[in-house]
């Protein structure tokens, strides 16, 4: 009887091992196909950085800051390159840091916001705080650009374009050069 039990256990273990290996082999190709190659993600992040720096270079604040403070709010997909910091074409330094959407000093600490994924309540509360403040906001999400951000990015496979919310621009107190409107129309066709 011990021999029969031993051979059944050995058979079960062998079968489970084969089944586990088979399932592992089946799942591996699907995992590899769903991932975006790292170099594409890096390139998209660099493209986003170029567009954001371009937008910021066309913006003028009522009181121009010596060093522009860009705050990244919420989880983002393409902000890694921005977070390394940069210098604008004008030579003005760009300080970039992550902040919490609940930071009570967010408006005082930030001249511009790069918005990632936020809950609808957090977005609403944030835009209520921004009302009448000279803060430029750029949304990474593919939200309708009528929700409150001044600019909404459209990240495609090879190009990054953006939309402009003219209502939000008019209420923000930040002046945006008219060329930006032309760029948003021209680049919108490339995505």
Using CA atoms, how far apart are residues 191 and 66, in angstroms rounded to an integer?
34
What string of pLDDT tens digits covers the 191 residues of the chain? 554 444 444 543 444 434 343 333 333 333 344 455 668 888 999 999 999 999 999 999 999 988 899 999 999 999 988 998 777 777 788 999 999 999 999 999 999 999 999 999 999 999 999 888 999 999 997 667 777 899 999 998 888 989 998 888 888 999 999 888 777 655 444 44
Contact 69, 110 (CB under 8 A): yes
> What tokens appear for 23 in the block?
């399932």
Residue 60 β-bridge partners? 175
What's the topology of domain 38-188?
Rossmann fold (3.40.50)
Domain ranges of the chain: 1-35, 38-188
Query: What are the residues whose beta carbons fall under 8 Å from the beta carbon of 86, sequence distance 6 or more?
Result: 49, 53, 94, 96
Q: What is the pTM of this model?
A: 0.75
């Amino acid at each position: 009887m011990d021999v029969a039990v031993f051979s059944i256990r050995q058979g079960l273990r062998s079968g489970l091992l084969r089944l586990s290996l088979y399932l592992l082999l089946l799942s591996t190709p699907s995992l590899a196909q769903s991932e975006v190659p790292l170099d594409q993600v890096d390139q998209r992040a660099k493209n986003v950085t170029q567009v954001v720096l371009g937008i910021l270079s066309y913006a003028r604040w009522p009181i121009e800051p010596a060093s522009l403070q860009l705050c990244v709010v919420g989880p983002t997909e393409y902000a890694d390159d921005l977070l390394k910091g940069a210098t604008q074409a004008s030579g003005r330094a760009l300080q970039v840091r992550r902040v919490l959407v609940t930071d009570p000093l967010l408006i005082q600490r930030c001249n511009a916001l790069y918005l990632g994924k936020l809950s609808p309540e957090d977005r609403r509360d944030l835009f209520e705080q921004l009302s009448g403040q000279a803060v430029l906001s750029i949304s990474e999400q593919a939200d309708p650009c009528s929700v409150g951000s001044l600019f909404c990015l459209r990240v495609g496979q090879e190009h990054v374009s953006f939309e402009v919310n003219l209502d939000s621009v008019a209420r923000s107190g930040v002046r945006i050069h008219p060329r930006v409107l032309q760029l948003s129309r021209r680049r919108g066709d490339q995505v």
